[in-house]
Amino acid sequence: MTAFPIERTAIVTGAVSARGIGRATASYLAAKGWNIGIIDLDDAACRIAAKELGAEYGVKAHGVGANVASEAEVRSAIDELEAELPQLVALANVAGVSSPVPYLELEATEWDRVLNINLNGVHYATRRVAESMVRNRIGRIVNISSVSAQRGGGTFSKTPYSVAKAGVIGLTRATARELGEFDITVNAISPGPIDTDIMGGTLSEERKDELTKDLVVNRVGSTRDIAAAIAFLISEDAGYISGQTLNVDGGLYMH
């Protein structure tokens, strides 16, 4: 087992939105001493977010704008982050989009948009960081799937979202199998209802109460719930966990 370097970096995609899982994750990891690389669509917003994280938590942080649906942009962004930050040890693939379009109204452009961001984007980032992690023989990758993948929808987002997030689980398992010999773990987190804008805007108390009826806990999830799970799975202590999908969903989906 390769030990973590003292100075280590985690890249988080989709980490600019103030109410999103990505930003919560970047903050949570920075508070634990991780140096942070941010990738999101808006380059200026990425750099501002990184500056704020660095100032608040005293870590090294750098942000780069990239569309995760473009492999060339993702590779270039990660090249820059690696040049600016300590050794890359972890990747959290959080960037994603929702898609509430009913199947019978679904057009090809919407299908492609959702698959390109929510599945291809995870592959592009994973493929690039794997090169560095294999060279260093250490790495932790965590992908965000969704309970929607396991239940076949039944959430705010519908078919292409469920398909993409199911693909993320398949990608997680296959890459875990191939990268394991290099001391790289790959896991997925499957959130249930989380109070973020991807649920269609800020959840009203009425909507929260309605969602909670399907859970075995008495509240809707928070972005911190997901951030804490990511922090565990990328920790040095989680090296014997790989190829798994951890449901952080208040008990919504139980096998």
The residues annotated with a catalytic role in the active site are 161
The 3-state secondary structure of the chain, one letter per residue: CCCCCCCCEEEEECCCCCCCHHHHHHHHHHHCCCEEEEEECCHHHHHHHHHHHHHHHCCCEEEEECCCCCHHHHHHHHHHHHHHCCCEEEEEECCCCCCCCCHHHCCHHHHHHHHHHHHHHHHHHHHHHHHHHHHHCCEEEEEECCHHHHHCCCCCCCHHHHHHHHHHHHHHHHHHHHHHHHCEEEEEEEECCECCHHHCCCCCHHHHHHHHCCCCCCCCECHHHHHHHHHHHCCHHHCCCCCCEEEECCCCCCC
Token pair 């898609």 in the structure block, residue: 99
